[in-house]
Amino acid sequence: MPVESGNSAAARQVKQKRKSHSLSIRRTNSTEQDRPGMQRDMLEGQDSKLPMALRSNLLDLFGQIEREFENLYIENLELRREIESLNERLAGEGQTVDGGDLSKGALKTKASHSTSQLSQKLKTTYKASTSKIVSSFKATTSRAVCQLVKEYVGHRDGIWDLAVTRVQPLVLGTASADHCSMLWSIETGKCLLKYAGHAGSVNSIKFHPTEQMALTASGDQTAHIWRYMVQLPLPQPPADISASLDDDVDFSDKDEADGEADGPNECPTIRVATTTLKSHQGVVIAADWLVGGKQVVTASWDRAANLYDVETSELVHTLTGHDQELTHCCTHPTQRLVVTSSRDTTFRLWDFRDPSIHSVNVFQGHTDTVTSAVFTVGDNVVSGSDDRTVKVWDLKNMRSPIATIRTDSAVNRISVSANQRIIALPHDNRQVRLFDMNGVRLARLPRSNRQGHRRMVCCSAWNEENQACNLFTCGFDRQAIGWNINIPALLQEK
């Protein structure tokens, strides 16, 4: 009987300790409820480049993480106290019943069993808590919904570049290594016109801002300007793209089948250029129209960029200074500014706004080849590189980037949406990712064995006039793809 009374007294003491501890937990939780508000007030006074909506969302998520770990810590302390009381009770029962200490093996077994239960409980609680937090974080950061709309198949080799016309009728243009450039109906995916005037790979295509003219750059060391006239076919019901692909067929066989398709062969073909620009001594890798469309700029592997007059075809300026081959050139949509990128890890900003002074600024923000640098509608330049980074620069202060995006693969020819300011990044690893101008990732375009690109993605281009198909990508799988990108209102408010 003395043994029973001793055990009951010990049990009552443990219960009282647990009761008082639970009361202290309640008091602690009640005082900690005001902590997120205090932290938010403190952080709101600090300088940050993040939008307020995003900062508030992050603060809420971090507050959830802190509360979950605090609850785990409190529960851990309580379980440890229970283990200690259990070991004390086991030791007391061993002395009373057996008249001596329990064997070390028995105590070790009991303690090991209790510890394993504690460990399993902690793992289960931690996994459930973190999964909930991560799920909520993913739900708030996935701000773009992407859907494949149309595939444009017909080239016999990889597609280097693509663009959308800037005047009606709106068509898609592609430049391919098969020495051809094609114009496509955006709605039906049918080839409307083929340009076969180049003797080498067509590396770039750009459309005149106000007329039905195209500018293409080629590996034959020339750039061509040619006029086009197309008539859009009647829209057709959307086909089931997934049903047309067979997973059991090797992709190399599919490439051969694409090249033998009848559709592109039925297109009208243009073989003579309106204007030929041929002052370069190497591959012409890119070309673009200056604002107004009266001049064009070309970038070449001969380490120079040339400025031409469209009407006379005369060379106006030769832009030299890069130490290695040029990879891209781009013009500002409203000002006489040109940016050229190069394998020398730099990109250069050329200013032609003053006819008497042609200034140039050199920017060394990357550690590998700068694959492209493009202007935005505002005062920003976005540069992408083989060093797996993309950087956003302010034209008014380009000493350092205002945002840096780090990726897991080399970045090719990027594009920026004029209306929503979304950056589309095509990668060597077949992925296409979307970011905002602050460097926040919005989405990744879907890619599987049934849809998406199957080889390196070379270029991306936005189409601001067509909401049903507003982003295009092309790659070395010989196809271009049209996507529907749906941006929620929350992102558009930024």
Instruction: Kindly report, residue by residue over 46-66, the tens digit of the pLDDT.
Output: 667 778 878 888 888 888 888
Listed residue (176, 165, 185) closest to 204, CA to CA: 176
Distance, C-alpha 37 to centroid of its chain: 33
Distance separating alpha carbons of residues 353 and 341, to the nearest angstrom: 20
Selected residue with higher pLDDT from 31 and 367: 367
Q: Name the least confident of 166-175, 251-260, 338-347.
A: 251-260
436 pLDDT above the threshold of 80: yes
Q: What is the DSSP string of 163-218?
A: EE-SSSSPEEEEEETTS-EEEEETTT--EEEEE---SS-EEEEEE-SSSSEEEEEE
Q: Are 173 and 205 in contact (CB under 8 A)?
A: yes
55-75: b (≥16 Cβ within 10 Å) or e? bebebebeebeebbeeeeebe
Q: Region 206-218: what's the mean pLDDT?
A: 97
Closest among 397, 369, 396 to 383, alpha carbons compared: 369
**Residue 123: its pLDDT value, please?**
58
C-alpha neighbours within 13 Å on the C-beta side of residue 272: 1
Please tell me the predicted confidence (pLDDT) of residue 239.
53
Please state which of the ranges 223-237, 400-414, 417-431 shows the lowest mean pLDDT.
Answer: 223-237
pLDDT bin (cut points 50, 70, 90) of residue 483 is very high
Burial class (CB in 10 A: 0-12, 13-18, 19+), 124: exposed
pLDDT in tens, 110-139: 445 555 665 565 555 555 555 444 444 444
Report pLDDT digits (tens) over 266-283: 789 999 999 999 999 999
Which domains, ranges and CATH numbers included, belong to the chain?
145-226+267-491 (2.130.10.10)
Token pair 């200690």 is found at 84
Task: Flag whether pLDDT at 171 surpasses 80.
Answer: yes
Q: What is the pLDDT of residues 377-392, one digit of tens each?
A: 888 999 999 999 999 9
pLDDT at 16: 54
Asked if residues 439 and 455 have their Cβ atoms less than 8 Å apart, the reply is no
| Gap between the Cα atoms of 23 and 39, Å rounded | 26
Number of alpha carbons in the 13 Å side-chain half-sphere of residue 87? 17
What pLDDT shows up at residue 438? 93
Edge-to-edge strand ranges of the sheet holding 295-300: 284-289, 295-300, 305-309, 315-319
Whose tokens are 């009373």? That residue is 96
Residues 453, 477 contacting (CB under 8 angstroms):
yes
pLDDT at 488 over 90: no
DSSP 308-350: EETTT--EEEEE---SS-EEEEEE-SSSSEEEEEETTS-EEEE
pLDDT at 126: 54
Query: What residues contact 154, with CB distance under 8 A and at least 6 apart?
Result: 182, 191, 258, 261, 263, 264
Element (H, E) at 64: helix 52-98
Tens digits of per-residue pLDDT, 225-246?
A: 999 999 888 766 555 544 444 4
Percent of the chain whose pLDDT exceeds 70: 72
Residue 398 pLDDT greater than 90, yes or no: no
Residue showing tokens 């009761």 = 19
Q: How confident is the model at residue 144 (pLDDT cuts 50, 70, 90)?
A: low
Place of tokens 């070790």: 108
Which one is predicted more confidently, 137 or 153?
A: 153
Give pLDDT, residue 487: 72
Three-class SS of 409-469: CCECECEECCCCCEEEEEECCCCEEEEECCCCEEEECCCCCCCCCCCCEEEEEECCCCCCC
What's the pLDDT score for residue 231? 87
- The CA distance from 310 to 112, in Å, is 84
294 vs 417: CA distance, rounded Å: 24
Which of 309, 306, 304 lies closest to 323 in space, CA to CA? 304
pLDDT above 50 for 152: yes
Return d(Cα 23, Cα 46) in angstroms, integer. 37
- Token pair recorded at residue 172: 């898609």
pLDDT band per the 50, 70, 90 thresholds, residue 5: very low
Name the burial class of residue 197, with classes exposed (0-12), middle (13-18) and buried (19+) by CB atoms within 10 angstroms of its CB: buried
pLDDT at 122: 56
Whether residue 433 contacts residue 384, with contact meaning beta carbons closer than 8 Å, is answered with no
371, with CB counted inside 10 A (0-12, 13-18, 19+), is: buried
**169 preceded by a cis bond (ω within 30 of 0):** yes
> In b/e form, how buried is each residue of 257-287, taking b as 16+ CB within 10 angstroms?
ebeeeeebeebeebeebebebebbeebbbbb
CA-based radius of gyration for the chain: 32
pLDDT, mean over the chain: 81
Starting at the earlier edge strand, list the strands of the sheet with 415-416.
Answer: 415-416, 422-426, 432-436, 441-444
Task: Label residue 42 by pLDDT band (50, 70, 90).
Answer: low
More confident of the two residues 130 and 27: 130
Q: What is the pLDDT of residues 64-112, one digit of tens each?
A: 888 888 888 898 888 888 888 888 888 776 654 444 444 445 444 544 5
